[in-house]
Structure 1
């Protein structure tokens, strides 16, 4: 069996990771900051400078998701935009949204469905971008 990691186009992984990560910054700070705060029960809190983990953590997670997507797309021989979109929607809805909502359903998040909608939609858009870039630059 060929080592999958040696077959991955790493520049395409980087090119896909960057917009996914940057989308998160835009999504939660410019596009949906108020609904996101409401979902967390923090609509009345003043914005604070985020600790480094709130920047580094999501970056690492986006990178891991991007690498995993590249590996799976390679193994599944996805090489068309249609295939990439189908894969992205399956992973986005079946794993990313479902897991986001599952994580949100706990006593610490007062509006779990709103949180799941906002964060899940981010991940769905993000994975679509990732997969389309990966197939375009393979």
Structure 2
């Protein structure tokens, strides 16, 4: 049976692309087995995640060029944290339809992810089209 304890940590981040500053809260579950092997499991909202220093993504612009500060740094330097942007007023609010579930807000994928998936897909489709045109123009006998 693993033996362990939990600690709470707050990690402040800054995006090096858009300069957005934010904090994320984590629970670190420190476990050790009967042989003394130790492992840390990082949780965010109860879900296992990568450690905060690996692969953080900016919630403002989606960039992965992110740095972090020592724990408690933003508490000592509140001038670095920008005031949250006010929510825009809706121009048109659709009327709810009885018996239908409310629409779910879509999340925006980071631009680099779309490029990373879209470019290879476009190249593959272009190659297949080219191969089919050449096969029709020059059939093998």
- For normalisation by structure 1, the TM-score amounts to 0.25
Higher percent of residues as strand: 2
Name which one, 1 or 2, has greater alpha-carbon Rg: 2
- For normalisation by structure 2, the TM-score amounts to 0.25
Higher percent of residues as helix: 1
